[in-house]
Structure 1
């Protein structure tokens, strides 16, 4: 039986979201999407904030926004949604400096939520998140996944051999040194013998609707290096999906939940829950896109109007890559079977 692994765009639980959650139920942030999330076999998110009540706002370089959420509600919320992996390689994990990063790592570890992309050192930041999903009581019906997290955002947040931070790279598929570092990171993930290898990338600037050629080349290169799905995020708006060698590249998954101002044209409040169906051996079968919409600092199933807008926009963005979708109810469906 196929297993279903969900991927989301940015999950930002700080600022107004954090304030609202202090006065409503733990599950409220997931809105009407909660049951769909809980029905998945696994779930990977980009956690776009630190989980801490400690620390001071980063002042060493100019940072206009600082995001953190109280782990007392945020961890139960992640657990209730069934989050298996949080990628932390992004431009907000050090917003409240090292103490808040360490609180985040500790809170996720204590909850048994796998994480990747940030750590006490660069070695830890590049360590893959490894998780078994599916019916773990039956070895024939589970899936071993390994997720690596990388970012080209905010180089001042980069970890090194002695300092905590993110798994930072400068994305250039022609850079031999960068390629070697990424190959080593992928090899560490492959050493865990996963059925499915995921590269989760927080790349590029905000409010950009198309991936640059360098990202396209890098995404294809990752697939050629053995990655089964590229999970991109950072732009706050969803971008195209490309299929390369039978594997999907989600160039940007957009925003899943936050408190951001909505651009009336780019509609950063609209995106999808991306659900990859795979065999127990890790062979991708299809990618299903369920339209979502952010309202009142929570994520909901998109209204009919919003869903139609999102489907049409995704079709138009993906068409230049030769990507064609079918339709099943509100969802777009991309077949990956050869």
Structure 2
């Protein structure tokens, strides 16, 4: 029996989303997508805010935006959607200083929602999130063991170290970009510190003997529609190091999908929930719920993209026009990678068994 795991882009529950949720039910933030989320076997998100009632806005460096949500509704909302893992390596986990980050981690742990990518020290930030996704015991399997590591190249001032809390931050050096070749090997990712940190996290994840290994990356600047060659080389290196799924986010708009050695690379999943101003050309309010089908042995066989759009600080099933735009856009962005999709209703379907 296969297992279906959902992946989303940024889930930002602060500011106007937080204000709206104080006047509506906890699960209202998931809008018309709630039942689809609940129908999944597992769900991995990038949590783009802290969950805390306290703290002061980060002032040590200039930060124009600060995102915080009330855990009294946010945790029940995450539970209502069936969130299993939150990636925390991003540029907002210290928006309200260390205390709010600690509150976030405590709230997630109390709710038994796994997390990765941030912690009290860099050692904690490198720890994988580990979760067994129910496989109903089919074919002698009791469930799919999933390990998630989380990294960001954003906001160096939020990086954890041996004594200070923060994110698992890495550098992905774009100076080694080689426009003459679209295929680069693991040897091209040669930044020693990046190799050390990522290798450490992957080693810890492998020690848990997972069936599926996920790398969740909050990388690159906002409103960029294509990954640089350095990101492509890094993503391929991760796959060559044993990662089964690369789950990218940060740009606020979705990017194309590449398949490398049978593993899907979602360069950017876009935005899933937020209150951001909408760019009418790039449409940062439109994206997908990315649903990966995995065999009980941990082999990805299909990636299904269900179109979504943000409306009134909640996520919704995309309208017909929005869904058509997103499908066309995803095909256009994925074509340079040689990626081709089938169509099933409103969804795009990518077979990983070709």
Q: TM-score, normalised by structure 1?
A: 0.99
Counterpart Cα distance in 1 of 2:333 and 2:7: 19
Deviation per CA, 1:219-260, whole angstroms, max 9, x where unpaired?
A: 000000000000000000000100000000000000000000
Secondary structure of 1:327's aligned partner: strand
Instruction: Give me the CA root mean square deviation.
Output: 0.9
**Map 1:1-338 → 2, pairs under 5 A:** 1-135=1-135, 140-172=141-173, 173-338=189-354
Runs of 4+ deviating beyond 4 Å: 136-139
Distance 1:97 1:177 in 2: 26
**CA-CA distance at 1:183 after TM superposition:** 1.2
| Aligned equivalents of 1:90, 1:180: Cα separation in 2 | 20
Structure 2 portions without partners, runs of 5+: 174-188
Q: Secondary structure at the match of 2:141?
A: helix
Structure 1: which 5+ residue stretches go unaligned?
Answer: none
1:133 match: secondary structure: strand
- 1:178 and 1:269 map into 2 onto residues whose CA distance is 32
* Structure-1 residue corresponding to 2:181: none
The Cα shift of 1:148 comes to: 0.2
- Helix, strand or coil at the partner of 2:296: coil
Deviation of the 1:179 alpha carbon: 1.4
Instruction: With the length of structure 2 as denominator, give the TM-score of the two structures.
Output: 0.94
- 1:284, 1:24 → 2: CA distance? 37
Paired with 2:304 and 2:83, the residues of 1 have a C-alpha distance of: 18
* Aligned-residue offset at 1:171: 1.2
Alpha-carbon distance between aligned partners in 1 of 2:136 and 2:78, rounded to the nearest angstrom: 20
Deviation of the 1:136 alpha carbon? 6.0
Aligned length: 338
Rounded to whole Å, the distance in 2 between the matches of 1:214 and 1:135 is 36
The residue number in structure 1 matching 2:183 is: none
Cα distance, 1:337 vs structure 2: 1.1
Q: Provide, for residues 283-307 of structure 1, a one-character-per-residue CA deviation record: whole Å limited to 9, x for no partner.
A: 0000000000000000000000000
Whole-angstrom CA distance in 1 between matches of 2:136 and 2:100: 33
Deviation string, structure 1 residues 21-52 (Cα, Å, up to 9, x no partner): 00001110000000000000000000000000
Whole-angstrom CA distance in 2 between matches of 1:185 and 1:78:
25
